[in-house]
A and B are shown apart, each in its own frame.
Chain A
Amino acid sequence: MMVTTYSSVTERLLQSTEEHHKIDDFKRHIPRWCTGCGNGGILTAMQKLCRDENLPRENTVFVSGIGCSSRFPHYMNAYGFHGLHGRALPVAEGIKMARPDLHVFVNTGDGDCCSIGAAHWIHAIRYNMDMTVILHDNNIYGLTKNQASPTSPIGLSTNTTPRGSILEPLNPLLVTLGIQNASFVAQTVDWIPELMYDILSKAYHHKGLSFIRVLQRCPEFVPDMFQAWMDEPVTTRLLTHENGLSVSPALSRTYTNQEVHDPSNMDRAREIASLKDQVPVGILYRNDEIPCYEDVREPDRLQTSGGVRDVLEAEFDNFTIWPEN
């Protein structure tokens, strides 16, 4: 993500008085997620990243929609915007456009992103603005207590599908890979912290919109959803590459199913995203060359408050209802 460049004098002065944050500096409130909820691991990875990158809290913002996962900004000691259901992305885009120097993160659920917010999702990918988007995919509407989401598997019995879900689930990876300008598409699982962190860190460093789908456990409503994959490490396929995951030897001993996948290979990325009997974990696709909307659309001239006011007033004047005299 973009980092503001300062003059060398400023750099020196800021460095000399720079604060180094600890993980606790990024914590706020006690999370009100259920015990065992996968969101906890995502939060921890994020707080670690903020600490390791020493992100200035005043220049970091978390934007979310509505859902359990969308409570995320409350638990980060930084700026946050807990918005409307499905509307995290357009809010984040507005923030990035006005303040390209901020580090922008988006937390959205499978209902929030893939259902009510699906239109925004498609266009946000196409706009490719420099931000990190985390899709907390628990295959369920958690906050509203157990309704089927677009990613719920066939047969899942929920409040809205008491006799089992009947539709083929939507595959968020395949959808994202199919949208023009997709520049970083990855998948990870909340239960392997090492990979959760590694992918988050790589997404953060990618210039452009990084989309990470995290398979996130909801023990409250779908306790068995990912159990088989957790019990059988061989069903998890790690995508390794010099431009992809780095896997520690210890983890390699547990997760032996590995594929060297070059993330610039879109065709293979789509094949991997379509795997049914295995969970791919890693960077499926990345392309660092795709321009970011905020860079392409950067105005030639600076928008002063005076200039903006003049334009707005001219527009409002068109609609003023003149008081009767």
Chain B
Amino acid sequence: MSTNTQDLVAFRLTGKRPAQDSDDASAVVANSADSSGLCPVLFAGYSDLTSLRYDFPVILINGPHHSAPMRSLTSIMNDIIDSLAPKGSEGEFDRKQLLELERQIRSYAASGDKGTLSKFWKKAQADLIRGTTSSERKALKACLDQARTLVDVDGEVIDCNEYTCSKITEHLWDFEVTAKAIRFRKRVGALILRLERILEADFQISGDAQDPANLKGAVGDALASSFDFKALSDLLKGSDTHDVLPVTRKERIENSLKALKQQRFFATSYLDTDERAADEAGLKVHKYIFNTCTKAHDAFLDRLPEMVELIKAIAIAELEIVNGYKDGFDDDFFLGFDQTSLMPEDLELFPSYLAVCCGQPWSTTEKGRIIETLSSGLPIKIMVQTDDILPPSSFGAGPFSWGLSGAQLAGLAVGLGSAFVLQSTASNLYQLRSELQAGLAAPGSALFSLFSGAGAQTSEKQLAGTNRNGSYITAAAAMEARAFPTFVFNHEAGSDLAARFSLLNNPHSRSDWTSYSLDCEDDDLQRTTLDFAFTIADFMATDERYRNHFVKVVKSDWVSDMVSVGEYLATSSGDMSDKIPYVLMINEAGEASRYVVDDTVIRATKRARDIWHDLQELGGINNSHARKRLEEEYEVWEAKKQDELESLRVEMAAAAPVSVQDVNAPSAMSETLAPAVRQATDADAGTAMPPPQGAELKETAPEPQVQNDDPWIETVRCTTCNECTDLNNQIFAYDDNMQAYVANPDGGPFRDIVVAAENCQVAIIHPGKPRNSNEPGLPDLIKRAELFM
């Protein structure tokens, strides 16, 4: 082992950096200046994000009437290009201009400009036109003007930065709640209207409505002089008065109306003529977005009595409208109706609460509240933003212990099993918009644990040219490196983990790490392919604060004991103590070099991998229980098959002489087929087999019972035509389904039964034999009856 190698092993184990030797150009170099401009190989292609078409910027679309609450700039531009610029050379000019416009808008967003799509478009269009030659100016303007007319959405343009997570979450929350408000307005507005109509009808039949002044109002001024309203009133009042509403019912309706009009949960303007009653009363509509879970939870609890009152008012209104309020019974019910009576369905009427928690660390109370809320099932959605997953204290006690790491909080929330949980990164949020929406729409609590990538200490230079603060790259890298994997746990979906938990679009989710290959040149300028895994060690190497845990090794000092971190960790057995793990980085010139990592990094990487393994198991990948069980089952199956085979052999030997091959044929098959495959084959054979004759008949209906000599009717076929019942309603009657049967065979002469059978158009009356042998004309009747046997 060379001195250098020994130094590296020592560094790996203890973190003690090799001594610097400034004279030796080929020596291990460890000063931080050297590391500037370095980035992981994975980032090689992403030096300028503004020239890339990707998920950002995103437009948060205004107004509740769009089915999509947000769209990426690229998807909007793609639609325009598709409809405006024909494929091939014909559309090339337009396509080019539109893509250039997109690039411009993207660069405004990346440089921190704020505004809407329409504002950015205008600016970009002006900039492009200014920058073009006068000959092309007209065509350019025409192209962009026309394209502009195709954009039917507008809204704030946002890039991937420290505000992305909160903006998207709040926007989607708003989208959801606006839709709810519309439904609420419609429903409660209809209740108000119908209650008012009941009161109005009551007024119209009351004495008050017949007062001269009221009668005059009904006729109007124009003809007022032609009437004597006093006389009219006396006349009307003298006639029968109708029953007016009982006082208690009227009061109940009035109270319910008042509560409906003065509710503070939604801003409403219910009716044409009624201005907002709540406004008139000077009531402020509640707010639902808070910056801590504690505040959100408190607000929810404070408003519970108001919620109870509104729910009661709605129920009373609904009952009154169908005249279904039962005095006494319902009085008692509503008297005892309080917070404890609320059901989850009752809460679905109200907006959910949103806690946007960006500032970590949290107080102990806040931590407690988060857990309490997530286990309560209350409609409180918590967005927890992590800006930095590698704060320096990560390796000691504290943040990496539960509580301050959003990732761990999400894991804990899955364990609680009572909340919707989504974990992801800002870079991935556009892809996850429908999952986020589902979490916001789901009843009960939800946790969105999101990594913004905005707080990591990545050097500007290292991510040179990438967007403003490198949030997108950092966030995306955290997901790639399994430092902050994406998953969704929907506790309401299905009855098992397979239905509830999903690892969604984590790259290469079946493997420990994501792996890539990169085409590059070797020393002889020959093309070669570099395969590498992107681990959390690579991710840490991008962070200034961990520079001390990496040491560069120049190519001349590479030794065979050097292995990539991915390989190093993959080797579960064998002595790795003399192996030297490294990560691959490239510098500004695009040259790759190896950086050896120390034990701190290895431990952090292992830990991230173990957490990833747990997630994989939840997501049904490499499930350790299942694997173990499968092996056991396989052994049992093997043993059973061997036994069967043995007994078959014995049987065969005892029976007629059969060639050995015949006996072996099934055995060869059973030995090669795994049980699952075997079962599938059996099942296939089953479906291929024709069903037994008559199997399609749903059930075997009882044959008409063998009749004795009594008259009878095939009642189910009776068409209620009244023929028989009109003829003799003693013999024939209808059952509970209004179909005829023989109620009393002795209720009249045999003749009536025979005539009824003849008249019955569906011929379902069977007269049987006469019961009175003395009845006149029997021989003829018996003959006629025979037709209906």
Contacts and interface: CB of A to CB of B under 8 A. Distances in A.
Interface stretch (B146-154, B288-296, B311-319, B571-579): B311-319
B315 A13 contact: yes
B719 A40 contact: yes
A40 B723 CA distance: 10
A17 B326 contact: yes
B721 interface: yes
Interface residues of B, number: 55
B761 interface: yes
Contacts of A196: 719
Interface of A: 6-10, 13-14, 16-17, 22-23, 31, 33, 35-38, 40-41, 43-44, 47-48, 56, 58-59, 190-194, 196, 217, 219, 227, 230, 248-250, 252-253, 301-307, 310, 313, 320, 322-323
A230 B718 contact: no
Given A13-B319, A56-B322, A249-B700, A37 B721 contact: yes
Nearest to B726: A35
B717 interface: yes
Interface in B321-364: 322-324, 326, 329-330, 333, 337, 343, 345-346, 349
Contacts of B736: 22-23
A193 B739 contact: yes
B701 interface: yes
A38 B762 CA distance: 11
B718 A303 contact: no
A38 B718 CA distance: 11
Contacts of A302: 189-190, 192-193, 270-272
B737 A249 contact: no
A80 to B, nearest CB: 19
B200 interface: yes
B639 interface: no
B243 interface: no
A325 to B, nearest CB: 10
B698 interface: yes
A58 B722 CA distance: 28
B271 A307 contact: yes
A228 to B, nearest CB: 12
B699 interface: yes
Contact of B274 (A31, A304, A310): A304
Contact of A303 (B272, B330, B697): B272
Contact of A307 (B200, B272, B323, B738): B272
A276 B701 CA distance: 32
Contacts of B721: 35-38, 40-41, 217
A8 B345 CA distance: 7
Given A23-B737, A219-B761, A13 B723 contact: no
A44 B738 contact: yes
A59 B324 CA distance: 12
Contacts of B214: none
B422 to A, nearest CB: 28
Nearest to A226: B761
Contacts of B323: 58
Contact of A23 (B193, B312, B718, B738): B738
Q: Is the interface of B mostly helix, strand, loop or mixed?
A: loop
A193 B271 contact: no
Nearest to A246: B698
Nearest to B323: A58
Interface string B706-736: 0000000000111111110010000000001
A320 B726 CA distance: 59
B222 interface: yes
A148 B726 CA distance: 29
B48 interface: no
Given A36-B759, A304-B274, A191 B719 contact: yes
Nearest to B715: A193
B700 A320 contact: no
B341 to A, nearest CB: 8
B678 interface: no
Contact of A230 (B274, B315, B761): B761
B33 interface: no
B739 A44 contact: yes
B773 interface: no
A36 B761 contact: yes
Nearest to A16: B329
A62 B720 CA distance: 20
Contacts of B659: none
A10 B315 contact: yes
Given A194-B716, A302-B272, A17 B329 contact: yes
Given A48-B738, A248-B698, 17 more contacts: A6-B315, A7-B315, A8-B343, A9-B312, A14-B322, A22-B736, A35-B721, A36-B722, A38-B719, A44-B737, A190-B719, A194-B716, A250-B716, A301-B272, A302-B271, A310-B273, A313-B220
Contacts of B722: 31, 33, 35-37, 40
A307 B197 CA distance: 13
B762 A191 contact: yes
Contact of A304 (B193, B311, B717): B193
A307 B314 contact: no
B197 A305 contact: yes
A188 B9 CA distance: 90
A47 B738 contact: yes
Query: Which of B220, B324, B349, B759: most chain A Cβ within 10 A?
Result: B324
B134 interface: no
A37 B312 CA distance: 51
A32 B312 CA distance: 48
Query: Which of A219, A302, A305: most chain B Cβ within 10 A?
Result: A302
Nearest to A217: B761
Contacts of B193: 302-304
A19 B720 CA distance: 26
Contacts of A190: 719
Contacts of B701: 248-250, 253
Contacts of B314: 7, 9-10
The 6 A-B pairs of least Cβ separation, nearest first, read A41-B719, A250-B701, A9-B315, A307-B272, A44-B720, A44-B738
Contact of A14 (B192, B222, B324, B719): B324
Contacts of B346: 7-9
Contacts of A16: 329
A141 B432 CA distance: 65
Interface in B278-325: 311-312, 314-315, 318-319, 322-324
B762 A13 contact: no
Contacts of B762: 191, 230
Contacts of B274: 304
Contacts of A313: 220
Contacts of A323: 222-223, 226
B203 to A, nearest CB: 11
Nearest to B333: A13
B196 interface: yes
Interface string B735-759: 0111100000000000000000001
Interface in B672-721: 697-701, 716-721
A322 B716 CA distance: 68
Given A301-B272, A304-B196, A305-B197, A10 B318 contact: yes
Contacts of A193: 716-720, 739
Query: Which of A9, A40, A227: most chain B Cβ within 10 A?
Result: A9
Contacts of A43: 720
Interface string B207-230: 000000000000010110010000
20 contacts: A9-B311, A23-B738, A33-B722, A35-B723, A36-B721, A37-B722, A41-B721, A58-B323, A59-B322, A193-B719, A219-B761, A301-B272, A302-B190, A302-B193, A302-B271, A303-B193, A304-B196, A306-B273, A307-B271, A313-B220
B192 to A, nearest CB: 8
A7 B762 CA distance: 48
A187 B189 CA distance: 41
A307 B723 CA distance: 55
Contacts of A249: 697-701
